[in-house]
Amino acid sequence: MEPVTGGASFVSSAVSLTKTIIGAGLLSMPLAYSTDGLVFGTFIILLAAATSGFGLFLQAYVSRFVPSGHATFFSVCSASYPNLSVVFDLAIAIQCFGCALSYLVLVGDLMPTIIHRIPHVQEDNLRTFWILASTVITVPLAMLKNLDSLKYTSVLGLVAIAYMSLLVITHFLVGDVPQELKGNLSYFPPNVTGVFSTFSIIVFAFTGHQNMFSIINEAKDKSLKSLTVLVNVAIFTSAALFIFVGLAGYLTFGDLVTGNVILSYPASVSATLGRSCIAFMVLFSFPLMLHPARISVNNIYFWLKTRYLNEPVDENGPLLAESNPNIAREPPVVPLPEPRFYTITVGLLLLGYVLAVSIKSFALVLAIVGATGSTAISFILPGLFGYKLSTNNTKAGAVLKVLSYILVIWGFCVMVLCLYTSLFLNPA
């Protein structure tokens, strides 16, 4: 796909990145506080923000070593670890597609609790009806080629998030929740097992790395300074919101809070509107997940075609910045012509909706995919890229190399812990 001409403004890029980061994980922050306590819960959020933010910064840093406007996990990996590029793209495709699929399932589970009856639709078919009805929103948005084209729906998604955040904070300030719904509070974790059980909620809440390269490609100002400010704005905004909503929800319900704080409130007009906002939030997040999945599928197709059909590789476009001896070879520019764009998009949509309608529960599969895919996207890959492409020629470069290595180690630790939690502590 050709790079975007003109480019997205800083505000548009900030909206896209912030909306990619802030998703359904926001509503589980009070539950995380209930297992971590007020002090340790805030510490974990800040730690997750710092590590995820550094991963995003590394993506901005390494994007200089591929042709301008063509930064992807595949292209950067081709420049640093060419033999692993298709493996990483396969993991990214599965992770992002699985996340998009979970959004469809959430819509099917949530909407029947908001609108209980639909004329000529049996109660047993309400879930299927709402999943299929979501195509009115998701299909047109999925057909948009650039993230900048989704900026208005991202704004609407942020408005929905703002309402839900205000709902949680306002109920805490007003104190109108019945006393019988309130539990105990703690400053520190009651037990280690509880911390493990919700650790992934906080860490993966900051995952926006799957769209970072697309945001860089579409940005009007691709300088490292501008992109660093962009990352700081998105991470700071997300962390502040996670802390405020998490604290407000936990201080309201204590250890009786549920996994989705909006569902903890007694029936009311404001609570029903909050549930509706969840549905709109995930629907507007769906194309943000399908976008990187489509890119990775195209990269996999490109790799198979060039490897097994012996088609020539377009390696146009000089590397930016200084020459780096750590670069394995000139990274290819992966084309995405319109016929293939629509073929991949339609294929992903059909597969997603068939699975969402037919499979009732696959929480364990999604948890395992998230533990591996999200960790790879957020920490391991950015860390490996930074370690490979940074140099020791300067003190700053040497420090960046060490920090990148530490991020890789952190990523593997997170992966092991989250897999242990999914398989043994929270089995589906």
Segment 59-70 shows an average pLDDT of 90
Q: What is the structure's pLDDT at 365? A: 65
CATH for 10-309+335-425 is 1.20.1740.10
Residue with tokens 């293939």: 340
**Closest residue by Cα to residue 67 from 14, 13, 2:** 2
Other CB atoms closer than 10 Å to residue 312's CB: what's the count? 7
* Domain assignments of the chain as residue spans, ordered by start: 10-309+335-425
Instruction: Convert the pLDDT of each residue in 309-361 to its tens digit.
Output: 665 555 444 444 444 655 555 566 788 899 999 999 999 999 999 999 987 66
pLDDT of residue 382: 95
Model pLDDT for residues 390-426, shown as the tens digit of each residue? 877 788 889 999 999 999 999 999 999 988 888 877 6
Sort 6 into a burial class: Cβ within 10 Å, 0-12 / 13-18 / 19+. exposed
Which of 180-189, 190-199, 240-249, 285-294 is predicted most confidently? 240-249
Of 26-35, 192-201, 223-232, 349-358, the one with minimum mean pLDDT is 192-201
- Measured between alpha carbons, how far is 282 from 179 in angstroms, rounded to an integer? 31
CA 69-72-78 angle, 5° bins: 110
Helices (H), 143-268: 151-174, 192-205, 212-218, 224-253
> How much is the pLDDT for 193?
87
- Taking only the tens place, the pLDDT of each residue in 256-275 is 998 889 988 988 899 899 98
Question: What's the CA gap between 346 and 332, in Å, rounded?
Answer: 26
User: How many Å apart are CA 112 and CA 131, to the nearest integer?
Assistant: 10
In whole angstroms, what is the distance from residue 154 CA to residue 218 CA?
A: 16
> What backbone phi and psi angles, to 5 degrees, belong to 254?
65, -145
